[in-house]
Structure 1
C-alpha cells in the first residue's frame, strides 16, 4: 500500500475512553501522508467518559473510503452494542478496509457488528472473556493480529497497537522511527499494570470495583450475541 493512499478512520463516540483514541491518533498522525479521520454521526463535540470534549472531523455521511477502521472502547461502548446505525456504518466501511481494528472494548463493538467471528482477538482484561460470546477467540495479549484484524488490549495498549498497525502498513522501520520521535519508552513506576503482574489482593480489589459495570457490559454483549 502506498503511503499517499492510506486513509485511517477512528470512531469517536460519547463515553469513549479518550486514550483508546488519542494514543493511536498520535501514532497514526505521524505516519507518512496518512489522512486520519475522527468519525461520528455529527460534527458536534463528543465528550469522553472522563469529560474531555473532542471534535469529529467527519460524519458517517461524509466519511471517505477507509484503508483502516479503528474502534476504540470505553463505557459508551455499551450503548453502541445496540446502535444499528453505528454497527451498519462499521460493517460498510469494513467491507472496503484493508485492516479492521480496535482498542480495548472496541473489540466488543466489532464483535457486535459480526466482524470477529472465528478470529483471535483481545480486549481489556476485565471483559476479555466476553469476546467468546460474539464468536471470537479471546487471547490475553497486548496486541493480537489475525489476518486483517488487529486488536489491542486495554487503554494504554493503544500505542503498542497503533505502532503495530503502522508496521503492517509501512514496515517496521517507519514504526520504529515514530516510536523514537514519541520517546515511547515505557518504564512504569509500579509493576501492577496487568492481571499477570498485580498481586492477588490488587486484582481482587479491581475486579470488585468493576463488577457492577462489567455485569452491565455482559448484558449488552449477550443481547448482541443473540442477533448474530
Structure 2
C-alpha cells in the first residue's frame, strides 16, 4: 500500500506526523511525503523542516492521500498544480484524507463537494463556502473521504483508517505500539468544555493563522 502525505510551507507538524506514525506501521505500507516544491519544507513554527524528495508528478496513484493543515493552508487555496493533482489522485485512491484545515484545501479543490467533513473548530464554518456540510465531529467518514478535526484528531482519523485498511486487530496493535491512551492534565480540548479564559487566549493566538 502506498500512502502519500502532502506537505507545504507552514504546515502544522502533528497534523501529518501523527497519521505518519500510525499509517507507517501498517504491514506492507510505504509512506512518502510529497510536495509541489520538493526540498526542505518548513513547518508553521519555523523550527522543523522535512526534506521532501517526491514531487507531485512522482506520485501519480497513491492508495491513500492525506493532507494536513496549518497557517500555510491559506496559501494553498487557489486552483493550481496541487489542486489538479488532488483531483487526479482522488479518482483512483482508496482513501482521500485530511487533518485539521487540510480539509479546506480538499474542499477548495472540489473533491469534497456535497460531502460531510470536519476541520479545526476555528475554521469549521468555512467548509460551507465550498459546498461541504460542516460536521462538528472529531472524525468524519463520508464515502472514501476521511477528515479529522484539529491537529491531534489526525491520530484518531489515522487509526480509523488503519481499521478499514488492515483490520481492527492491526489498528489496535498500532494504537498499543504508539501507546495512544490520552490522559490530558486539563479538560480543555474542545470549545464545549474549555474554560472561557482558555477560549479567549486560543482565539487570540489563532487570529490570522486559520482561514
Scaled by the length of structure 2, what TM-score is found?
Answer: 0.95
Distance in structure 2 (CA, Å) of the matches to 1:58 and 1:50: 23
Structure 1 residue 181, shift from structure 2 partner: 0.7
Distance in structure 1 (CA, Å) of the matches to 2:192 and 2:53: 38
Structure 1 residue 39, shift from structure 2 partner: 0.2
Distance in structure 2 (CA, Å) of the matches to 1:101 and 1:112: 14
Aligned to 1:165: 161
Structure 1 residue 209, shift from structure 2 partner: 3.5
Aligned to 1:186: 182
Give the direction of change, closer, same or farther, for the CA distance of 1:186–1:85 in structure 2 (3 Å limit): same
In the alignment, structure 1 residue 74 sits paired with structure 2 residue 64: no
Structure 1 residue 212, shift from structure 2 partner: 3.5
Across the aligned residues of Structure 1 and Structure 2, the Cα RMSD in angstroms comes to: 1.3
- SS for the counterpart of 1:39 is strand
Match among 14, 19, 38 for residue 43 of structure 1: 38
Q: Deviations over 1:62-84 (max 9, x none)?
A: 11411111011001110110151
Unpaired runs of at least 5, structure 1: 1-5, 218-228
Match among 8, 17, 23 for residue 12 of structure 2: 17
In the alignment, structure 1 residue 197 sits paired with structure 2 residue 193: yes
- SS for the counterpart of 1:45 is strand
Higher helix share: 1
In the alignment, structure 1 residue 103 sits paired with structure 2 residue 93: no
In the alignment, structure 1 residue 8 sits paired with structure 2 residue 8: no
Aligned to 1:224: none
- SS for the counterpart of 2:191 is coil
Q: How many residues align?
A: 210
Larger deviation, residues 204-213 vs 34-43: 204-213
Structure 1 residue 208, shift from structure 2 partner: 3.5
Distance in structure 2 (CA, Å) of the matches to 1:202 and 1:50: 21
Contact 2:114 / 2:131 at 8 angstroms: preserved in 1?
yes
Aligned to 1:54: 50
Which residues of 2 match residues 102-121 of structure 1 at below 5 A? 102-121=98-117
- SS for the counterpart of 1:141 is coil
Scaled by the length of structure 1, what TM-score is found?
Answer: 0.88
Match among 20, 25, 31 for residue 30 of structure 1: 25
Structure 1 residue 35, shift from structure 2 partner: 1.1
In the alignment, structure 1 residue 93 sits paired with structure 2 residue 89: yes
Aligned to 1:223: none
